Amino acid sequence: MIDPVTGFAYPESWTAKCRDAEALAAAKSGFGVLTSTGSVLRRGFTTGSTAAAACYAAVASLSVPVDTAPILLPCGILAVIPAVGKNGEGYSKKYSGDYPNDITAGILICAKATPSDEISLETGEGVGRFVRDTPRYSKGTAAVSPPAKKEILTAISSACRVAGISGAAVLLTIPDGRRIGALTLNPKVGIEGGISVVGTTGFVEPWDDHLSETVSERIAGAKNVVITTGRIGLRYSRLLFPEYEVVLAGSKISEALEAAKLCENAVICGLPGLILRFFHPDVATSRGFPTVEELIAGPEGKSVLAEELNAVKQKYPWLRIVIINRDGQVIGDTE
């Protein structure tokens, strides 16, 4: 059985331990994650997917009231997300599945739609905005990631067909977004006034302590392993190292590296932010940059990256470190 979200092939021993047919079906469909004990943890929906559901409900309700929204997630899976829509106004609450520490769990996302000749999306109260220029976003830009924006616009287009209209102008708001946003990492990366609307796959992963044990087990049982930190790293690590076991460790790098000591070949591969900060927490701020992304994009980015990787290699001679950019290009390699 293969996880349709990550492409990970579940060992037969894991599926054999799962006695709950409904839970196993959830894992097979991508709405759950099977663990080594046979238990299944539920994935939740990202702020991007929740916003898409609210926008769909708002637009579709220009014709008839709705209570669900069929949303095509960025990973290609169709999800029916609870959402209420009436008279052009839509609402959806963020469902976080079994992710225990999601600060945005249950947050209400709202949308208001009016018929228009074309499809447009505006953001208002509670959606964060960048307060400075960054390598990928300009000052004043709404904190809506490209995959999330595409997901939302696709949902609006689908709802327009349901409502029988050619287009709609939609305003997206998050009533409690300003308060919650201040509790996240947004202020540190230059986003203020609300939360970010994001989501690479459309799902929130149920990372918890049990999954940390599963990650360690997978690494310890591998001959050649690649530890990666996020979805982009996961995707390109599989392309760069097709003969290796690729394990998504997220922020649990410490546990992953401890387990990888006994592997014949161990690699850590991913975007620079989380990896460089793990080995050198002040890598950016010590050089006058608020984020690693801005540091690497700066004029001395290449030399700084080489310097940091060399330092890591001295401390972890058994570990290969590969840094990629968001297009999958290798920008740093200790080998």
Tell me what pLDDT residue 209 has. 54
Supply the DSSP string of 247-286, one letter for each residue.
Answer: EE-TT-HHHHHHHHTTSSEEEEEE-HHHHHHHH-TTTTGG
Instruction: Classify residue 6: in a domain, yes or no.
Output: no
CB 188 within 8 A of CB 126: no
Tell me what pLDDT residue 130 has. 96
Q: Is 276 found in the same domain as 196?
A: no
Q: Is 57 found in the same domain as 199?
A: yes
Q: Is 175 found in the same domain as 90?
A: yes
Q: Is 293 found in the same domain as 189?
A: no
**CATH label of the domain that carries residue 129:** 3.30.2110.10
What is the tally of structural domains in the chain? 3
Residue 117's domain spans which residues? 45-203
Tell me what pLDDT residue 148 has. 97
CB 215 within 8 A of CB 259: yes
Instruction: Classify residue 119: in a domain, yes or no.
Output: yes
Q: The pTM is what?
A: 0.77
Instruction: Classify residue 150: in a domain, yes or no.
Output: yes
Phi, psi of 112 (to 5 degrees): -130, 130
pLDDT along the chain (335 residues), means of 10: 88 92 96 89 96 98 97 97 98 93 94 97 98 91 96 98 97 98 92 96 77 76 91 87 88 89 94 92 92 91 93 95 91 94
Tell me what pLDDT residue 331 has. 94
List the Cα angle 150/155/157 in 5-degree steps.
Answer: 95
Tell me what pLDDT residue 44 has. 97
Tell me what pLDDT residue 101 has. 79
15: its two tokens: 């599926």
**CATH label of the domain that carries residue 258:** 3.40.50.10720
* 3-class secondary-structure state, position 61: coil
Q: Is 56 found in the same domain as 156?
A: yes
Q: Is 181 found in the same domain as 238?
A: no
Q: Is 318 found in the same domain as 262?
A: yes
Q: Is 67 found in the same domain as 187?
A: yes
Instruction: Classify residue 3: in a domain, yes or no.
Output: no
